[in-house]
Amino acid sequence: MSSPTIATAVPADAPLSEAEVRSLREDFPILQTEVNGHPLVYLDSGATSQRPLAVLDAEREFLTTLNSAVHRGAHTIAAEATEVFEDARAAVARFVGADDDQLVWTSNATEAINLVAYAFSNATAGRGGAAAERFRLGDGDEIVTTEMEHHANLIPWQELAARTGATLRVIPLDDDGALRPGDIETHITDRTKIVAVTHVSNVLGVVNPVEQLIAAARRVGALVLLDACQSAPHLPLDVKKLDVDFAVLSGHKMLGPTGIGALYGRRELLAAMPPFLTGGSMITTVTTTRAEYLPPPQRFEAGTQRVSQAVALAAAVRYLEDVGMPRIAAHEAQLGRRLVDGLSAIDGVRVLGAGIDLPRVGLASFDIPGIHSHDVGQFLDDRGIAVRVGHHCAQPLHRRLGVTSSTRASTYLYSTDAEVDAFLDGVAATIDFFLGGVAAGTDFPGVRS
């Protein structure tokens, strides 16, 4: 597997150069393709990123040389596969600043959040004994999240509140979509048991003031879960320095495969949590009436694991480390500002969260009154430009901002200024087509009758 070609004699936090990005793009075969007769402009990395050859090759090499059941077989390739599998865990843990026994493999970030929520639920039902006392909820206890969360970091807490009798409190947003310091302080109280918040909004692209949320939680003894799905791929992340109790990430958003994510948890918390999924591979002793469980992380990894996916995700984080996360963050900050400034300069476009004065990643969502987001997306797709349309699994945030859906463009380390400019030209052309008095008889497949 080859490493990306990146200059070394530059500052560690310097944005990627145009030449470096062009070189990186050679590692991504899909970026060399055409869509509808146009070069592909892929601006949907916030949903699913593309995979470099190093990641594709790593998974294929494992499958063609070591494919076997880990932690079970006594034969040679099973032992070697187990070693590679655990090396992958250590690599991903290091990438987020954790120890390898603090990282639990999951199918995705959604499962990781549900794992934590169900541990609270199982503890409330009496599982886990005295060690799980801090996870038990009841009347008067509160779970706190925000109005901007992805549904994956909202619905599990709604369900947990319904099962336990706890109250779910949602920190509101201001008119721009930002969290207000006063609302953070008033919503996190001595009744709060857990605060679950996104690090980077998947709609607004802003990096939230999580340090303030964490500090407020610490003052009242509450636990903190960080949704790092949109930060781990794009920013340097150290979960220990942030002082969070749990963090979740998703492989397919960070150059890795689908079907794998991870949960970081403090060692003492994972050791005290009742398991979520039960069955084989997570036990020590089983009788017909009871079972004893392995220590974490294995106690949360029931059944056959996602072995080749873990190997591929480890290759993805090594690729990102070779490029340099500070450099990726600087590159995307430039692209994010180019997106917001460019969209804001187009008459008729409303950029969601444009007025929020916070750092941002390379992501922007917008609304064009009078044009449905699906029509915008179809018009851009006709030009080979791939974007996301809809509510992006964040209906409460869209409702707060007064829109039912939006169009989202999201970049990554392989995105270029030229692609952003092609997208901006496409948005302007969309407005001209739908609202600018297009000649009668002009036909476009995206127009709804």
**Tens digit of pLDDT for each residue in 96-131?**
999 999 999 999 999 999 999 999 999 999 999 999
Tell me the pTM: 0.94
DSSP conformation letters of 367-435: EBTTB-HHHHHHHHHHTTEE-EEE-TT-HHHHHHTT-S-EEEEE--TT--HHHHHHHHHHHHHHHHHHH
Number of helices (H) and strands (E), helices first, in the chain?
14, 17
Q: How far apart are CA 16 and CA 414, in angstroms?
A: 10
pLDDT at 59 over 70: yes
Q: Mean pLDDT of all residues in the chain? A: 95
Q: What CATH architecture applies to the domain 18-52+324-431?
A: Alpha-Beta Complex (3.90)
**Tens digit of pLDDT for each residue in 381-402?**
999 999 999 999 999 999 999 9
Which residues, 6 or more positions from 418, have their beta carbon under 8 angstroms from its beta carbon? Answer: none
Residues 344-359, mean pLDDT to the nearest whole number: 97
Residue 7 pLDDT = 65
**Tens digit of pLDDT for each residue in 143-195?**
999 999 999 999 999 999 999 999 999 999 999 999 999 999 999 999 999 99
Contact by Cβ (8 Å): 213, 224: yes
Q: How far apart are CA 414 and CA 50, in angstroms?
A: 9
pLDDT band at 254 (very low <50, low <70, confident <90, very high): very high
Looking at the chain, which residues constitute the CATH 3.40.640.10 domain(s)? 59-320
pLDDT at 416 over 90: yes
Percent of the chain with pLDDT over 90: 93
Percent of the chain with pLDDT over 70: 96
The C-alpha angle 421, 427, 433, rounded to 5 degrees, equals: 135
**Tens digit of pLDDT for each residue in 260-313?**
999 999 999 999 999 999 999 999 999 999 999 999 999 999 999 999 999 999
Fold entry, domain 59-320: Aspartate Aminotransferase; domain 2 (3.40.640)
pLDDT at 1 over 80: no
Q: How far is CA 314 from its chain centroid? A: 16
pLDDT band at 2 (very low <50, low <70, confident <90, very high): low
Active site residue 229: no
**Tens digit of pLDDT for each residue in 420-445?**
999 999 999 999 999 984 433 334 34
Q: How far apart are CA 326 and CA 190, in angstroms?
A: 37
Residue 9 pLDDT = 72
Say which of 6, 346, 358, 393 is annotated catalytic: 393
Residue 440 phi/psi, 5-degree rounding, is: -60, 140
Looking at the chain, which residues constitute the CATH 3.90.1150.10 domain(s)? 18-52+324-431
Closest of 226, 184, 178, 217 to residue 360, by C-alpha: 178
Lowest mean pLDDT among 8-17, 305-314, 440-449: 440-449
